[in-house]
Structure 1
Amino acid sequence: MANGFIPISQIIANRISDMIFLEKKYKPNDKLPNENMLAEELGVSRTTIREAVKILVANKVLTVERGRGTFVTANPGVQDDPLGISYLKDKKKLVQNWFEMRLVLEPANVRFVVERASDDEIKEIIACERKAAELILAGEPYAEADQQFHAAIAKATHNSVIELMLPAIEASVRDAISTAIYGGTGELASQNALTNHRMIADFIEKRDADGAALAMYYHIKRGMIDMGC
């Protein structure tokens, strides 16, 4: 123990986190130096570096790929299920709650996107919409593409708290689609996505905040009605 009973491994884990989050020395998907180099740079043993890396892997900041090295994760620090949603048993009620949360959040998200997104970010949103549409028209599974569309919108808000909510947003889309399929309303859900994603993307491309927010509200409300929420 050291420094007020904080383990040295935790101190070093915090130092590496600072390099990622504050100093921006390492970006998402970047490879970190090997243990020897980090140990020399930070003035500690390789064992301490190894323990610090384990802490950061557990916190979804780093990932270790055997034979390749240690990398910053694509979304450092974002937990897969930070709110413990997977433990909720009443899935029908959960889907209704997801829709209610999205009804409040996502129309505001598209307003931020219109105001803040770069042209490249808007192109990415449109590309995600086109990909989902192609899969729907081909009769192929589209849940992942649907999630990517809503995730691209969340990222383009340039709001760090909304970005941290990405796992929840993606889970809400996934749960809604799977519930619709098993509940016999899968075709309604796919048509809702096909029509309203295009409308949302078009308004975003035109940088029409009111139109995009209204289209997003209608998209989510339509999903609630189709599923009897």
Structure 2
Amino acid sequence: MYWRTKHMAKPLVEKASERLLELILERGYEVGDKLPNEYELAQDLEVGRSTVREAVRSLATRNILEVRQGSGTYISSKKGVSEDPLVFSLVRDRVKLTTDLFEVRYLLEPRIAERVAQFASDEDIARLEEIVLAIEEAVAAGDTKHLELDVKFHCMLAEMSGNLAMTSLMPVINQSIHLINENYSNRQMKSDSLQAHRNILMAIKQRHPVAAYDSMLAHIISVRQVVLSEWFDKDMTLHGLNDHK
């Protein structure tokens, strides 16, 4: 099965949670809709009922599902929390969402980097350097931990900017990074991102706000171009337009 190979490195409950979310999107459930009962979901997910219960509980903690005692499981009307506070998980058009999130990142992240170059302490800069090195080591070792560290790098920058509103908007940036990592695998993009992190770090270390701003903007533009190019190539292949190559 496709979803098994796609998520095979993850724990069973996590895989079941992700597949359940996929089913919700595929079937077009909306806020307030009731999900099939536990037995039917177990059949759909090809797992045991105890795993279904854990998967439902996992999505409930993210405010995606709501369990009503004696009634069943429903799509929650609450806004998401922590991991997905803007409920991006329920957006079906992933390409549109990814490109729209890039637009938001254009507005936020260059300014974040600029402020960090102005206000970061020496200790902050040392922490950033540690993360950049850790990302490079993880990529070199083929360790998927680099994905988590990438998110952490951008979160740290927002925190160091000293702007509370910037920090509260980090889920926008985080979700963009997660979407890219989930759907795009271009190796050149990884290499370019490593160099971009270096450039951003260097500008911050040199206390050069304009260079930090420009380096972050260049980073986001570069990643966006690669993502859109890869998406275009996949679309062409899907429609049989690359057969002449």
- TM-score norm. by structure 1 comes to 0.62
Return the offset for 1:127.
Answer: 1.1
> Unmatched 5+ residue regions in structure 1?
1-57, 60-77
% identity of equivalent residues: 27
Counterpart in the other structure of 2:123 = 120
Residues 180 and 189 in structure 1, CA contact (< 8 A), matched pair in contact too: no
Describe the SS at the equivalent of 1:139: coil
Shift of 1:174: 1.5
In the alignment, the residues of structure 1 paired with residue 123 and residue 163 of structure 2 have an alpha-carbon distance, to the nearest angstrom, of: 17
* CA distance in 2: counterparts of 1:164 and 1:120, whole angstroms: 22
Distance 1:217 1:125 in 2: 18
Q: Is the 8 A contact 1:110 1:209 kept in 2?
A: yes
Q: Indicate the residue corresponding to 2:93 in structure 1.
A: 90
One of 135, 138, 141 as aligned partner of 1:135: 138
Q: Which residue of 2 aligns with 1:177?
A: 181
1:3-42 to 2 correspondences below 5 Å? none
Q: Give the counterpart of 1:168 among 168, 172, 189.
A: 172
Question: Quick one: distance in 2 between partners of 1:121 and 1:207?
Answer: 12
Q: Deviations over 1:117-168 (max 9, x none)?
A: 2211121111111111111122221110110111110110111111112222
Structure 1 range deviating more: 209-218 or 165-174: 165-174
Which residue identity lines up with residue 128 of structure 1 in the other structure? I
| Coordinate RMSD, CA, aligned | 2.0
Report SS of the residue matched to 1:104.
helix
SS of corresponding position for 2:228: coil
Is residue 200 of structure 1 aligned with residue 200 of structure 2? yes
Counterpart-to-counterpart distance in 2, 1:139 and 1:192:
16
1:79 Cα deviation (Å)? 2.7
Give, as a single letter, the amino acid of the residue that structure 2 aligns with 1:151: C
Shift of 1:175: 1.2
| 1:217-228 alignment, distance < 5 Å | 217-228=217-228
Question: Equivalents in 2 of 1:138, 1:80: separation in Å?
Answer: 27
Query: How far does the alpha carbon of each residue in 1:148-205 deviate from its partner, in whole angstroms, 9 at most, with x for none?
Result: 1111101101111111122222221111122212xxx2x0221121111111111111
Distance 1:168 1:124 in 2: 23
- 1:146 and 2:150 matched: yes
Matches within 5 A, 1:42-121: 79-121=82-124
Distance in 1, matches of 2:82 and 2:227, equals 29
Instruction: Give the whole-Å Cα distance in 1 for the aligned partners of 2:138 and 2:206.
Output: 25
Q: Structure 2, unaligned stretches of length 5 or more?
A: 1-60, 63-80, 230-245
Inter-partner Cα distance in structure 1 for 2:142 and 2:189: 13
Aligned-partner Cα distance in 1 for 2:120–2:170: 17
Rounded Cα–Cα distance in structure 2 between residues aligned with 1:79 and 1:116: 27
- Between the aligned partners of 1:226 and 1:80, the Cα distance in structure 2 is 26
Aligned length: 151
Residues of 2 paired with 1:124 and 1:167: CA distance? 21
| In 1: Cα distance, 2:160 partner to 2:228 partner | 31
